Amino acid sequence: MRLRVVRRALAPQGAPLGGDLHPVLDRVYAARGVRSAADLDTSLGRLLPVGTLEGIPAAVELLLQHRTAGRVLIIGDFDADGATSSALMVRALRSFGFAAVDFLVPNRFQFGYGLTPGIVSLAAARAPTLIVTVDNGISSNAGVAAARALGIEVLITDHHLPGALLPDANVIVNPNLGGSRFGSRSLAGVGVAFYVMAAVRRRLEEAGLAGPATPGAAELLDLVALGTVADVVPLDANNRVLVAQGLKRIRAGRCVAGIRALLSIAGRPAHDLTAADLAFGVAPRLNAAGRIDDMTIGIQCLLADDLATAERLAARLDELNQERRSIEARMQQVALAAVRCLADPGPGALQRSGVCLFDESWHQGVVGLVASRVKDRVRRPVIAFAIADETSLRGSARSVAGIHIRDVLDSIATRHPDLIERFGGHAMAAGLTLERAKLDRFARAFDEEVARWTAGAPAADTIETDGELAPAEIALDTAQALRSGGPWGQAFPEPCFDGLFSIRSARVIAERHVKMWVEVPRSGRAFDAIAFNHLEEGAEFVPPSGLAQLVYRLEVNEYQGERRLQLLVDHVLSAT
C-alpha cells in the first residue's frame, strides 16, 4: 500500500497559547483543539464531580448494606483494565472497613468473558452476599439472572456499550448507558470503579466512619492511570486529569508495590514516567497473565503491600510476557503472510474492507495482538479468530479511526441474527463468539458491513502527522517539551512529524529493528534514528534511493546519565 502523509490542521482561531510553552508544543496543542491554557489544566479540581455519574448514589447505598455483615466478591475482566479495577476495588473496600472482600477473575480459556452462569456457580461456593463486577457485566444477562436466583445481589460497574436489554442487576453504573448525562463516556472500567469508590469514601466521611487512617480516593489514582492507559480509551479532558494525576503519584513514589516492581523489571524509571511507559512497559506484562495463564497473578501483584512479594510476582509476569511474545511472533508471521496481498495489492488483487483471519494453531489469548498488528499493516479493521471449543471460535477485533467496531458487530447481528453468538466492546476493540461453521458467512458479512462505513472514514492509505519541523526545531529541548506536554494517548495522540532526510547509514539490529543515521539535506544536521519492528522476519532493509520521507517522533534517550535526542521512526517512505 502506497502511504500518504496528511498533516493535522490547526484548530480554527488557533491563536498561540503563549506563556512559557515551546512553540512546537503550542502548534501541537492547537492541532488537537486546545483553545486555552484552561484546557491543559489537569489538576484534581478539573475532575468531573463524582455525583454526576448516574447510579452512583444507589451503588453507594447497596455497598454500605454489605459493609459490616456481608461478603463482597469482586469479579473482574482478564485484561489490565480489569486487573487494575479489581485491585482498586479490593484495596479501597478493605481500607474502608468492609468485613469481607475478595476477588475472582474468570480464566478466559475455561469460562470466557464476563459474569457467566459458570462463574456465578464458582462464585457461589464463596457464599457472597454481593457480587460487584468491574470492567464487565453490562452484557451478562444470564449470569446476573443466575446470581439473583441464588439470592446474591449484583452491582455492575462497567464502561462497555450496552445491548438492547440490560441485565437485571440491583444497580448499574456505566457512563455509556442510554440517556446518561455524565460529561465523559470515555471512562475506562477502572475509571468507573474509581468514581464509585470515591463516592463511598465521601459517604463514610459524612457519616463519621472514616478515620484519619482511612485513605482518600486520590491514593487510588496510580491504578487508575495504569488501567486507563492500558485500555486505550480516548484521553478526553477527564481522563487526562486521571492519568496525569496518577503519573504524578507514581513519579513521586506514592504507588502500589506492584507498579514499582513492574516498572523496575521493564527498565522504566519511575521518576521520569510517561503514559507511554505504562502502555508499553507495564501493561503488556500485566496483560500477559490474562492472555497466557490467569490474571489472578496480575491482581495479586497489584495487591501486594511488600516489595519483595511484588517483585516475585512481577518476575512471573515478565516470564509470561516473554512467552506471549514468542507465541505472538509465530502467529504474526502466519497472519502477515496471509494479508500481504492486501497491504501491497497488485493489479486485479482481491480487496477486503474488513479482514477476518483464522488458524487452528492460534492461541486465543493472543489473537487480539495479532489483529492489532495486522490492522496497522493493512490499515483497515481486522478480526483474528482462535478455536474456543469443538464447535466455536472466539474472535478479537481491532479497528481504525472512523469505524466503530462494536457498532459494526451490532449491525451484523441485526442483519444476520443467527451469525454471532455473543459480542461486546467499544469503538476500537471488541470480542465475539460464533460457530466455526459460520466463519465464512460471517467474514462476508463483516466485509460488507465495514464497506458501508468506509465512506465516512479516513482513507486507509493516510498517515496523519503534525507537519514538518525546521532543522533547528529537531532538538533535545523540543523533545523534552513534548514529553512533558502529555499525557498523550488515544484521541490526544503523541506528536509525530514528517520530513525529508538522507539515510547516511543503516543496520539491522535484533533482526527486526533498523538503526539509522539520518541527515536533513543542506542543513549539516544529522540525527540518530531507530525504526522498531520495521522488518518482517527474515526481510532485508532496503533504504529508498535518494531522499526518504520519514514519519517520526522525538524521543529523549537517556543512557549512562546523559540525555540525547533520538528520532523514533514509524514509517520510512520513498520521497518520490
Class of domain 463-574: mainly beta
pLDDT above 70 as % of the chain = 95
CATH topology classification for 50-246: inorganic pyrophosphatase (n-terminal core) (3.90.1640)
pLDDT band for 50, please (50, 70, 90 cuts).
very high
Residue 79 is given by DSSP the state: S
pLDDT for the residue 11: 61
- Among 113-122, 307-316, 412-421, 534-543, the minimum mean pLDDT is found in 534-543
Pairing of strands 547-559, 130-134: unpaired
pLDDT band for 558, please (50, 70, 90 cuts).
confident
- Quickly list H helices, 379-489: 405-415, 439-453, 476-484
Average pLDDT, the chain: 91
Tell me: pLDDT of 544 over 80. Answer: no
Query: What number is the average pLDDT over the span 427-456?
Result: 90
CATH number for the segment(s) 339-456: 3.10.310.30
pLDDT for the residue 320: 96
Who has greater pLDDT, 427 or 247? 247
pLDDT for the residue 542: 79
Tell me the domain boundaries of the chain.
Answer: 50-246, 339-456, 463-574
Grid cell digits, residue 29: 496543542
pLDDT for the residue 526: 93
pLDDT band for 564, please (50, 70, 90 cuts).
very high
C-beta separation of 469 from 24 below 8 A: yes
pLDDT above 90 as % of the chain = 72
pLDDT band for 345, please (50, 70, 90 cuts).
low
Query: What number is the average pLDDT over the span 429-455?
Result: 92
pLDDT for the residue 559: 74
Would you say the C-alpha torsion 268, 273, 276, 279 has a positive or negative sign?
positive
pLDDT for the residue 349: 46
Judge residue 127's burial from the number of C-beta atoms within 10 Å of its C-beta, 0-12 exposed, 13-18 middle, 19 or more buried. exposed
Question: Cα(448)–Cα(433) distance, rounded to whole angstroms?
Answer: 19
